Each structure stands twice: as C-alpha cells, then as structure tokens.
C-alpha cells in the first residue's frame, strides 16, 4: 500500500493504528515461544522487516555462490509462497517440478544454483528434511525471520534503501512485520541500493543488472521498451532497467508472484523486459521478443570476509558439539 511508505502518517495509517496492537502482541508472543533447540548444522536466515521486495533472492544467490567457492556445502529451505503443490510437504525441487507447484523463487534458486532446495511452509520440517537426506555444512532459509519455530544461528536482515522502514508502523498501518527494535538483534543488515541513516552498522549492496537476454541468448540493444513483472517492488525493477540505458515506454505491474497474462506478453512494437522470477514460470521459446533482466549483488571484500568468518565459526561449532538431528 502506497501510504505505508509516506514519511508522515496518512489518514489511512491513523485509522488502522489501533489494529497494530494486535500485530504487536502476536509478534511478541511468537518471539517469546521461539525455538531454542539448535540443529546439527547452522541455519542462516535471510529475511526482512518490511513487506515487499528487499532483495532476499539476490542475497541468497550471493551467499550460496560464496559458499560454493569456498567448499561449503549448502542447501536452501523455502516456504514456497504462492505454490500450488501436487505432493505432500516437505519436498525437494527437481527439474520435473514446475514453478506452479513449488513457487517461483525456490524454482529459480534451484535452477540457478544447482543445490538442494526444499519447500515447506513449516520450515522446521524442511530443515530436518535437508539434514536427513543431504550432507550439508549450512542451511539458508529463504525468508523466515519471523518464523520462530525454526531455530537460527545467524540472521541477515534486508532493507530497501529507498523505502526504508516506511512510516515506521506495524501492519496494517505500516509495512513493518515487527518493531524497528528488531534491527538490533540481527547479525547483519544489508541495504539495497541507497544508504539509510540507520543508528547501527549496515552493509550497502551494490546492485548490478546484466543486459537483458531473450531465449535465443540475444542481447537487447538500448532503446524503447515495455516492462512487465509480478514482483513485490516494481519500482526497483524499473530503476534497474532505466539505469541500463533503456527508455521505458510502457509499464505493466502484476501482484507479487502473479503469472504475467498472455495478453500482456503479446507482441507489440516494443521489446518486453521481465524479471528472472517471471521468466521461471513461462515458456520463453514462444516469446522471442521477451528479454530477461538478471540482477546480482556485489559487496566489498571486507564484508565477504566477515560473512565467511561467521559461517565458518558456526560450522566449526556445530561439527564439534552435535552428533544427531533433532
């Protein structure tokens, strides 16, 4: 909702403010009942405090690739938001399982990283599934910062540098899932794009966008384009396209995780740019005029060193103190 990100409280926010007391009670209750039973391998949560896209997926890709470069065996667990499963939870994503049945982001992660990705709304079960079926050193949870039934050893909180904490209110008056005090309890704060005036250290993620490619591997030359997507932060996607030098003639935004309609993809006079998350749900061989934008994060070597040191510390501690799964 647009009023969430107004710097001052709108009349809509003021009207909904009494309901935030209920959200506060629920979130505090969940936190008080959080699991204190660690797993035999460390769990790293990549989550957010606000509703909407904050860059969790590119962060998970960066982390997984960092682990792979340094010989750390890693798996991902995900809720599979928007999925319509054709089998019982938990399950591991295979080539035969479509994005419709497992969720667009988990499917994209499994395809991009070639690592175990397990889907279950109850992430505690997903973690135990990974531990029972794979020899891993680390498990990354896609989202789940507020999923306290799952024990975690490290937390990375993602923030959008332009949206920030919005009006600072809890749902439904504002975009916050928990109070801003939660910032003080995480291990790392990563801000996408522009820096924020936060009262504690954070890392700025340098967003890099590759030239869009179509299903034939053809690069799109700069010029007028139409952009379509079903993501949580459409404005961020549009900024990335513009930053690459394209002139956005037309925009079409769908709800987060929603499949782009065939009518929107029909050929017109402009090439169409979509995101990787959209592309995973489409047969792009039918649409040579559609190009996919790839987004990645880049960090300085000091942040990479600190993250790697934290991961190795947790992995070393688990290998010396745990002998069986819970």
Q: Which residues are annotated as a binding site for ATP?
A: 50-57
Which burial class, exposed, middle or buried, applies to 35 when counting CB atoms under 10 A from its CB (0-12, 13-18, 19+)? Answer: middle
Pairing verdict, β 247-253 and 117-119: unpaired
Instruction: Determine contact, residues 170/176, Cβ cutoff 8 Å.
Output: yes
Structure tokens at 197: 């005036």
Contacts of residue 140, Cβ cutoff 8 Å, sequence gap at least 6: 43, 44, 45, 46, 60, 63, 64, 74, 75, 76, 77
Opening angle at CA 276, ends 271 and 281, nearest 5: 95
Instruction: Determine contact, residues 171/20, Cβ cutoff 8 Å.
Output: yes
Residues annotated within a binding site: 50-57
Residue 275 CA to residue 260 CA, distance in Å, equals 11
Structure tokens at 115: 């690592």
Structure tokens at 189: 């704060």
User: What are the backbone angles phi and psi of residue 232, rounded to the nearest 5°?
Assistant: -75, -20
What is the maximal distance between C-alpha atoms in the chain?
Answer: 62
Instruction: Determine contact, residues 279/215, Cβ cutoff 8 Å.
Output: no
DSSP state of 38: -
Residue 260 CA to residue 294 CA, distance in Å, equals 18
CB atoms closer than 10 angstroms to residue 133: 13
């Amino acid at each position: 909702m647009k009023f969430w990100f107004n710097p001052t409280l709108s009349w809509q926010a003021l009207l909904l403010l009494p309901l935030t007391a209920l959200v506060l009670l629920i979130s505090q209750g969940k936190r008080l009942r959080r699991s204190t039973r660690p797993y035999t391998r460390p769990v790293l949560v990549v989550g957010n405090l606000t509703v909407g896209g904050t860059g969790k997926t590119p962060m998970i890709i960066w982390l997984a690739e960092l682990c792979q470069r340094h010989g750390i065996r890693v798996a991902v667990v995900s809720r599979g938001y928007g999925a319509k499963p054709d089998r019982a939870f938990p399950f591991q994503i295979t080539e035969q399982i479509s994005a419709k049945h497992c969720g667009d982001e988990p499917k994209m992660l499994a395809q991009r990283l070639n690592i175990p990705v397990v889907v279950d709304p109850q992430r505690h079960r997903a973690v135990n599934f990974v531990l029972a079926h794979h020899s891993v050193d680390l498990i990354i949870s896609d989202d789940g910062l507020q999923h306290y039934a799952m024990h975690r050893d490290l937390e990375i909180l993602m923030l959008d540098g332009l949206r920030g904490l919005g009006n600072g209110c809890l749902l439904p008056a504002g975009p916050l899932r928990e109070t801003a005090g939660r910032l003080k309890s995480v291990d790392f704060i990563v801000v996408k794009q522009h820096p924020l005036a936060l009262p504690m250290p954070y890392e700025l993620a340098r967003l890099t966008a590759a030239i869009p490619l179509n299903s034939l591997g053809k690069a799109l030359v700069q010029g007028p384009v139409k952009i379509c997507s079903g993501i949580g932060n459409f404005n961020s996607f549009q900024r990335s396209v513009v930053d690459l030098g394209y002139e956005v003639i037309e925009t079409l935004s769908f709800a987060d995780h929603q499949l782009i309609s065939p009518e929107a993809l029909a050929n017109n006079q402009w090439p169409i740019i979509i995101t990787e998350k959209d592309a995973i749900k489409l047969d792009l061989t039918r649409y040579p005029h559609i190009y996919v934008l790839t987004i990645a994060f880049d960090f300085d070597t000091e942040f990479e060193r600190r993250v790697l040191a934290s991961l190795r510390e947790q992995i070393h501690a688990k290998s010396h103190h745990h002998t069986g799964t819970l």
